[in-house]
Structure 1
Amino acid sequence: MEENKKILMIIGMEKQLEQTICRAANIQPEDTLVLKSVFPDISQPYGDLMRDIITLVHRNKAEEIWIVRDKYEQTADESISDLLNRDKDLNDRMQTLEYLFQNCSPEFTQSSIDEWLSPSENVAEGVQKSVAAIRRHPLIPLHVKVKGFLIENSVLTEIEALNKNGAR
């Protein structure tokens, strides 16, 4: 890999995941930049995570972006929206937000607050959605390769990307 060029990896929160990926892909840790994310999918194309991705790509001349998740990553047993709904004050605020989701479509890419708060049901689907969102973003240079991977037993497997219409 050319000097000063990096791979930006967006990974889960699991301990040792970064080292496992570097060993599996035979890359040096100093050739990587790492962002950790709780959920496998990027829910906001103009949110903080995307801003961090854009900044790191440009600042560090990243050649590639990898979204890598553990194939058996545990999703939450209870949705965030269920937890928030238990609090009366938060429940009232969520109803206000739900109104905004229903009536301010240009600002919100999801159709409801529950959809925004919940990750994809399937880890691979979340990775595919993230790859598609990054590839479509106008501030990601066209020469930057964006790939999605699942890791299982220290083996990286590239997953098929979605096309522009969201299909494989």
Structure 2
Amino acid sequence: MEITENKNVLLITGMEDKLEQSICHAAAIQPEKTVTLKTVFSHISQPYSDLMRDIITLVFQKKIEEILIVRSKNEQAADIDLEDFPHVSDRLQTIDYLFQHGNPEFPFSNLDEWLNGGKNVALGIQQSVDLIRRHPLIPSHVKVRGFLINMEHEELIEIEDY
């Protein structure tokens, strides 16, 4: 993996401990040249969400030249059960209706899918890379790539090659 020395890099990672350290080691990135955003899910679901606003702001404030979305190869999908929300059971049908009919560009079809963030981490990374690349507020010179990392061997696997 080629990262130009002295390039400011934004890492968008999962929540695992030592993930940032492993990524910097595997990619030979200087930690002092990185900014890290930790997210629970690999998928950026909306182009004008708070997370996307944070990414855009960091790109300009920190003069970011490359964005890497990296998740652990062994990351477990969220397993949230809607039965854990008994206080909203009377509203679930309404919420699912809104998911299906309220916002056509929304990538999830129901509340359960949205809460769990989708099951395919690699697909979520690829969709997020595409969303960031196409975003009208991200400068065209900013390189955006997605990876899975094998934490045991500190090996990065580019999603396009996955």
TM-score w.r.t. length of structure 2:
0.86
> Which residue in 2 is equivalent to 1:113?
111
Q: Out of 143-152 and 86-95, give the one that drifted further.
A: 86-95
Displacement after TM superposition at 1:103 (Å): 2.3
Contact 1:124 1:159 (8 Å CA) reproduced: yes
Pair 41,107 (structure 1): closer, same or farther in 2 beyond 3 Å = closer
Q: Which whole-Å CA distance do the structure 2 matches of 1:47 and 1:8 have between them? A: 17
8 Å CA contact 2:122, 2:148 repeated in 1 = yes
Amino acid at match of 2:87: D
Question: Structure 1 length normalisation: TM-score?
Answer: 0.83
Aligned length: 157
Q: 2:69 aligns with which of 62, 67, 70?
A: 67
The percent of aligned pairs where both chains have the same amino acid is 61
**Residue 105 of structure 1 contacts residue 111 of structure 1 at CA under 8 Å; is this kept in 2?**
no
Per the alignment, residue 44 of structure 1 pairs with 46
CA contact (8 A) 2:9 2:68 kept: yes
Pick from 121, 132, 137 the counterpart of residue 134 of structure 1: 132
Indicate conservation of the 8 Å contact 1:63/1:143, yes or no: yes
Change beyond 3 A, Cα 1:130–1:25: same
Q: Which runs of 5+ in 2 are unaligned?
A: none
* Equivalent residue letter for 1:30: E
In the alignment, structure 1 residue 122 sits paired with structure 2 residue 124: no
**Residues 121-150 of structure 1, C-alpha deviations (whole Å, 9 max, x = no match):** 222111111111111211111111100011
The Cα RMSD (Å) is 2.1
Gap regions ≥5 residues in structure 1? 162-167
